[in-house]
Chains A and B, each alone.
Chain A
């Protein structure tokens, strides 16, 4: 089955600096890679995702890059703010695009992002 490794487990950055979280996956059939943000005591929230036919996707201060050859994808957060402090999870799955169900998401262990004032 799929295995997702996520690094680092904890990341502390100064407010205003950039943060990068990296993930690798093992199953070359995986084609959908979402990122979730989970604040303490709250549900995971989908913040950005990328499909395997795209190399990069941006949404304001957040971007995700995908290297299918290396089976590697990363989350980039620029101009970090205090509200970015949370645990971030990467995930991978196979999705056939038919609209009918999907393999379950395989998650990384999470990165605790701390924004220092």
Chain B
């Protein structure tokens, strides 16, 4: 099976803009989770979607949102970008909600 894919791989935005990141899970996986990775905070959970419903949410402001489509593909959106949002955004897919397999990530730089 093909692995988890994410687009775009790299993004440069300026403060105040918004951004949308996309994730395609492994075929057959219905759960998609999003994580933010930074050198200072490490890997932090953003939210998890299963069958188009947000099941769990981490401790991030409302500027971070997401959705999942009927084909299990997921998008996350960050509005009103801040410098501190610069990070590697990783999505992970899971068949049964336990073992999570990560995509290559989207490197977001906010200037």
* Least CB distance, B64 to chain A, in whole angstroms: 13
Give chain B's interface residue range (CB within 8 Å of chain A).
20 to 34
Complex alpha-carbon distance, A91 and B39, angstroms: 17
B44 proximity list for chain A (CB < 8 A)? 107
A51 proximity list for chain B (CB < 8 A)? 98
Q: Are the C-beta atoms of B99 and A104 separated by less than 8 Å?
A: no
Majority SS of interface residues in chain A?
A: loop
Question: Do A101 and B100 form a contact, CB below 8 Å, given A43-B105, A44-B90?
Answer: no
* Least CB distance, A38 to chain B, in whole angstroms: 9
A100 proximity list for chain B (CB < 8 A)? 31, 50-51, 55, 97
Which residue in chain A gives the minimum CB-CB distance to B6?
Answer: A43
Complex alpha-carbon distance, A54 and B11, angstroms: 42
Which residue in chain B gives the minimum CB-CB distance to A36?
Answer: B102
Q: Are the C-beta atoms of B102 and A110 separated by less than 8 Å?
A: no
A49 proximity list for chain B (CB < 8 A)? 98-99
* Least CB distance, B75 to chain A, in whole angstroms: 18
**Residues in chain B within 8 A of chain A (CB atoms):** 31, 33, 35, 42-48, 50-51, 55-56, 58-59, 90, 94-105
- Further pairs besides A49-B99, A104-B45, A105-B35: 6, Cβ < 8 Å: A45-B102, A100-B50, A101-B55, A101-B97, A104-B48, A109-B42
**Residues in chain A within 8 A of chain B (CB atoms):** 1, 32, 34, 36, 42-46, 49, 51, 89, 91, 93, 95-110
* Sampled A-B contacts (5; CB under 8 Å): A98-B97, A100-B50, A104-B46, A104-B58, A109-B42
